Structure 1
Amino acid sequence: MRQRPTIREHLLRGNAASHPDCRATAMTSHSVLGDKVRVYRRANSSLWQCSTYLYGKEWRVSSKTDSLALAKEFAEDWYLELRGKSRIGQLKMERTFADSAG
């Protein structure tokens, strides 16, 4: 009797969403600004999230919208704001305790 493929095998084949244990966690993802920013929606949320890898760190934020078009606009603005803050030395590279608590 043949065993069901593992989650890892599905991930390696690029079809994790077809595995019964992964269907709920598969995310829809879109690229913005030529792959500089990724807009995605988690399986348990209707809101779009944004992420980018900038200066050796992954940055993430919620767009706080369920509209893909608005989320893409937000992602562009957010990314350009991050780059601008970095250029003038205002980009905080580490999260402080006050940031976490507040």
Structure 2
Amino acid sequence: MTRDSVVDGRFVAFADVVRRRLLYYLCSSSSDDNEIAFETLVSRLADDDTFGSHTRAQMRLNLVHVHLPKLEQANLIEHGDGTVRLVVAPDVVTRSLELAHRFDSI
């Protein structure tokens, strides 16, 4: 994998509001290893008004089949055993989220 493809994958990962919010929740997790239970994540995202009305089942399906694979491909998270874990330094993700927010306000 070339450096350009890694960067491209990260831009794809940050291009979606659900993935950005998921990364925000991981960065603000109270655990030392920036880990959150999958079902807790499903609940938080499904209850978030930002995404309109998604049932927990719809959000779970979207996470498993769309969002988590994209974040894993970008080497930002790992998931399994009922948890989702950030695998990069939280400050890297936080700075990227801030950049995405600036793009959003242009």
**TM value normalised by structure 2:** 0.31
The structure where helix makes up a greater share of residues is 2
The structure where strand makes up a greater share of residues is 1
Between structure 1 and structure 2, the one with the greater Rg is: 1
**TM value normalised by structure 1:** 0.32
